[in-house]
Amino acid sequence: MAVALAVRGVAKSFGPDEVLSGIDLDAESAAIMTLLGPSGCGKTTLLRIVAGLETADRGSVEVGGVTVAGPGVHVPTERRRVGMVFQNGALFPHLSVAHNVGYGLPRGERKQSRRIDEMLELVGLAGLGDRMPDTLSGGQAQRVALARALAPGPAVLLMDEPFSNLDAVLRSRLRREVDEAVRAAGVTTVLVTHDRQEAFALSDRVAVVRDGRIVQVGTPRDLYVHPVDDDVAAFVGEVGGRLTPDGPLLRPEDLAVSTVADECGEDRVGGTVTRAEFAGADAFLEVRLDSGASVTVRVAGGDVPAATGDRVFVARRQRQRD
């Protein structure tokens, strides 16, 4: 697969604070890559460097095989062939939807009008070109911002926390709509988020950013099943704990629990339920093991097999994880 975006050795400091520490990253053509990390980890700074809104202290950036940032090189944002969708959409309030979408297009009334119509159709807003931004819902405004970013035909689309200002229901729906739109457009997309569910739902590959470094890159499944360390494991999913001090870190669904010892196999560990929680489709038991350690067990189906204070036995489920 061809590489549409290549970042090599990018570093950035603000005063004495190093925000990025030699970042290397490849985004494949027509794929969705997500930078996933907590607030302050440097992911948005990296996105802004790719866009040309910040200048790296060292390192290089290539877009579509062309160096746009590096030693002695700084191509202006408008010439980088990147589109940008900001957290708040950043629409021009005095321009109509159509004029917002057409803002970055070359002049030529017929071609421009046709392209605007194509983009509004792509994002599901056909016929709304005459509307003003203040008449749009939050989801509609973000789709206009997406159409504006896609209209010039960028080599790379950059999206900075585009769903964070929306409620949960709208966020989920818009996520699906954006996924369909960018894949239909065939554009390489780099998304920034702190939301693991969002990253997993949208991405072909995810780069986990921590303290200005990329600590792991892989498919969503790779990160969930084979996290590089305990911190990544906890960041990308719920952690159940360890059955023994030197045992592997397990997910809640990797554990089985029973009040009958023989039902758990020979590697079972005894303990006492300290909390039982019904969560709809699932139930969760917190168990304090005889060793003093605690684990969390997910029970599918929502049936709570034991109550607080009950003696139980916990073992690792036998399942294929690879």
Would strands 66-70 and 213-218 be described as parallel, antiparallel, or unpaired? unpaired
Task: Give tens-digit pLDDT for 24-73.
Answer: 999 999 999 999 999 999 999 999 999 999 999 999 999 999 999 999 99
Beta bridge partners of 5: 27, 63
CA distance 4 to 51: 14
pTM of the model: 0.88
pLDDT at residue 319, as a whole number: 59
Contacts of 98 (CB under 8 A, 6+ apart): 116, 120, 129, 130
Q: CATH class for domain 239-316?
A: mainly beta
- Order the strands of the 294-300 sheet from edge to edge: 255-258, 311-316, 269-279, 282-289, 294-300
Q: At what angle do helices 138-150 and 109-122 cross, to 10 degrees?
A: 130
Q: Residue 154's CB: how many other CB atoms inside 10 A? A: 22
Report residue 164's pLDDT band, with 50, 70 and 90 as the boundaries: confident
What stretches of the chain adopt beta strand conformation (E)?
3-14, 17-28, 32-36, 58-63, 66-70, 73-74, 82-85, 156-160, 188-193, 205-210, 213-218, 255-258, 269-279, 282-289, 294-300, 311-316
Q: Which residue has the higher pLDDT, 10 or 280?
A: 10
- State yes or no: pLDDT of 318 exceeds 80: no
CA distance 293 to 286: 11
CB-based contact 34:28 (threshold 8 Å)? no
pLDDT at residue 167, as a whole number: 77
Task: Give tens-digit pLDDT for 69-111.
Answer: 999 999 999 899 999 998 877 899 999 999 999 988 877 666 7
What share of the chain in percent tops pLDDT 90?
73
CB-based contact 18:11 (threshold 8 Å)? yes
The ranges of the chain annotated as CATH 3.40.50.300 are 3-233
- State yes or no: pLDDT of 222 exceeds 90: yes
CB-based contact 250:225 (threshold 8 Å)? no
CB-based contact 273:306 (threshold 8 Å)? yes
Q: In one letter, which amino acid is 272?
A: T
CA distance 47 to 182: 18
CA distance 166 to 266: 49
CB-based contact 21:212 (threshold 8 Å)? yes
Provide the CATH number for the domain formed by 3-233 in this structure.
Answer: 3.40.50.300
The ranges of the chain annotated as CATH 2.40.50.140 are 239-316
CB-based contact 49:82 (threshold 8 Å)? no
Our measurement of the distance from residue 300's CA atom to the centroid of its chain's CA atoms, rounded to an integer in Å, reads 26
Q: In one letter, which amino acid is 244?
A: T
Closest to 257 in 3D by CA, of 291, 234, 289, 233: 289
Stretch among 64-68, 160-164, 251-255, 308-312 having the lowest mean pLDDT = 160-164
Report residue 242's pLDDT band, with 50, 70 and 90 as the boundaries: very high
Q: In one letter, which amino acid is 312?
A: V
pLDDT at residue 17, as a whole number: 94
Task: Give tens-digit pLDDT for 251-304.
Answer: 999 999 999 888 777 789 999 999 999 888 899 999 999 999 999 999 988 788
Stretch among 2-6, 63-67, 120-124, 303-307 having the lowest mean pLDDT = 303-307
What are the backbone dihedrals phi and psi of residue 220, each rounded to the nearest 5 degrees, phi first? -50, -40
When the pLDDT of each residue in the chain is averaged and rounded to a whole number, the result is: 91
